[in-house]
Amino acid sequence: MNAFAPQRPSLTVILANPRGFCAGVDRAIQIVERAIAKYGAPVYVRHEIVHNNHVVDRLKKLGAVFVEDLNDCPDDRPVVFSAHGVPKSAPAEAERRRMFYLDATCPLVSKVHLDAERHHAAGREIILVGHAGHPEVDGTLGQLPEGAIRLVETLEDAMGVEPRDPDNLAFVTQTTLSMDDTAEIMLALKTRFPRIVGPHGRDICYATTNRQEAIKAMSAACDLVLVVGSATSSNSQRLVEVAVKAGARDARLIDDAGCINPSWFEGVRVLGLTAGASAPEVLVEGVQDWLAARFDLSIDVAETARETVTFKLPRVLTQEAEPA
């Protein structure tokens, strides 16, 4: 060892747990992988299967072709609908064209769809709390006739809602929102419309909730929090916001270790590290390697929950092939 080598600065890294892939993301990725293995390439996927650039690029190399419209898919190749869900018009069009399709919609998103249909069947006007333009929101809006669901994005929107019948309202939410921000909007709706009907539990998914709780638990102790996830990932963006609100001096969203700017570490002694629900653990490991090459690391873990949820794959992908 060189006695004259400069001493590396010390850095405490707090790893959030849970972090990374949720059950819905894992299921969606497996559906694409198994479809390619069973039916050969190419397999077409309507919209990014999950919002992570690395996952999408890896699946492209395996033979997935990502499109935004079924018009870009041939009739004779399998098509997969993304984890975010699709409007009812998508499977209807696939059936009209006699296409073979697999639905990778997260079961928790499907629950929101079913709740919206139940409210509509009961004659209620429906409010959807979510972000305009997000594919999950587009999919939920597309479950019912145009105008049946009203989108509310902000507290200001909630205060401006003028329903046809204030006593016959219901609400559902996007699954990847900030719990705190959504709670504020829901409180406003319930205060204005005491008879509004909500979900039996809550629509924000367990994985979004768990990752936000984990980052809340550690952020006050952190000079900087790094969230591994793509800019298109709603749940990853919310983690950055939650970290700052929970007391982190700074928080950054990064695709991978290559996006880290060393200047961020000026004065940083404690770093929080987590990953959005669509980010693979290998990217977190890459960040740890980047840090280990520059700092004398001490690793702590902030665990707030243990996840055991799994979702079944479509039977057509798990059943044995029929003998010839």
Per-residue model confidence as pLDDT tens digits over 273-323: 999 999 999 999 999 999 999 999 999 999 999 999 999 999 999 986 543
> In whole angstroms, what is the distance from residue 239 CA to residue 277 CA?
10
Q: Which domain holds residue 93?
A: 24-105
User: Could you count the other beta carbons within 10 Å of the beta carbon of residue 40?
Assistant: 11
pLDDT digits (tens, 9 = 90+) for 97-123: 999 999 999 999 999 999 999 999 999
Q: Are residues 285 and 295 in the same domain?
A: yes
Kindly report the CATH number assigned to the domain that includes residue 75.
3.40.50.11270
Residues 6 or more apart whose CB falls under 8 angstroms from that of 166 comprise: 192, 193, 195
End-of-domain residue from the set 192, 219, 235: 192
Q: Are residues 128 and 180 in the same domain?
A: yes
Lowest-pLDDT range of 56-65, 164-173, 252-261, 315-324:
315-324
Q: Are residues 210 and 298 in the same domain?
A: yes
Question: Has residue 308 been placed in a domain?
Answer: no
Question: Has residue 200 been placed in a domain?
Answer: no
The pLDDT-based confidence of 201 (bands split at 50, 70, 90) is: low
Question: Has residue 290 been placed in a domain?
Answer: yes
Terminal CA-CA length for the chain = 66
Question: Has residue 322 been placed in a domain?
Answer: no
Give pLDDT, residue 289.
98
Question: Has residue 135 been placed in a domain?
Answer: yes
Give pLDDT, residue 121.
97
Q: Are residues 185 and 153 in the same domain?
A: yes
Q: Are residues 213 and 172 in the same domain?
A: no
3-state helix, strand, coil in the chain (%, to 5): 40, 20, 40
When pLDDT is averaged across residues 199-225 and rounded to a whole number, the result is 90
Sheet holding 10-17, edge to edge: 251-254, 224-228, 270-275, 10-17, 296-303
pLDDT digits (tens, 9 = 90+) for 12-51: 999 999 999 999 999 999 999 999 999 999 999 999 999 9
pLDDT digits (tens, 9 = 90+) for 132-149: 999 999 999 999 999 999
Question: Has residue 324 been placed in a domain?
Answer: no
Kindly report the CATH number assigned to the domain that includes residue 180.
3.40.1010.20
Q: Are residues 261 and 289 in the same domain?
A: yes
Q: Of 33, 93, 136, 241, which one is the catalytic site residue?
A: 136
pTM of the shown model: 0.92
Triad 173, 175, 178: Cα angle to 5°: 85
Question: Has residue 311 been placed in a domain?
Answer: no
Q: Are residues 210 and 176 in the same domain?
A: no
Q: Are residues 14 and 45 in the same domain?
A: no
End-of-domain residue from the set 105, 139, 174: 105
Q: Are residues 68 and 120 in the same domain?
A: no
Give pLDDT, residue 165.
95
Question: Has residue 28 been placed in a domain?
Answer: yes
Cα distances (Å, whole numbers) of residue 226 to 249, 264, 310: 11, 10, 27
Active site residue 241: no
Maximal C-alpha separation, the chain:
78
Residue 1 has pLDDT above 90, yes or no: no
Please state the domain count of the chain: 3
> In whole angstroms, what is the distance from residue 102 CA to residue 79 CA?
6
The pLDDT-based confidence of 324 (bands split at 50, 70, 90) is: very low
When pLDDT is averaged across residues 39-68 and rounded to a whole number, the result is 97
Q: Are residues 148 and 212 in the same domain?
A: no
Q: Residue 18: which of 169, 209, 226, 234 has the closest Cα?
A: 209
End-of-domain residue from the set 105, 129, 144: 105
Give pLDDT, residue 3.
55
Q: Are residues 84 and 117 in the same domain?
A: no
Q: Are residues 242 and 260 in the same domain?
A: yes
- Residue 315 burial (CB < 10 Å; 0-12/13-18/19+)? exposed
Residue 181 has pLDDT above 60, yes or no: yes
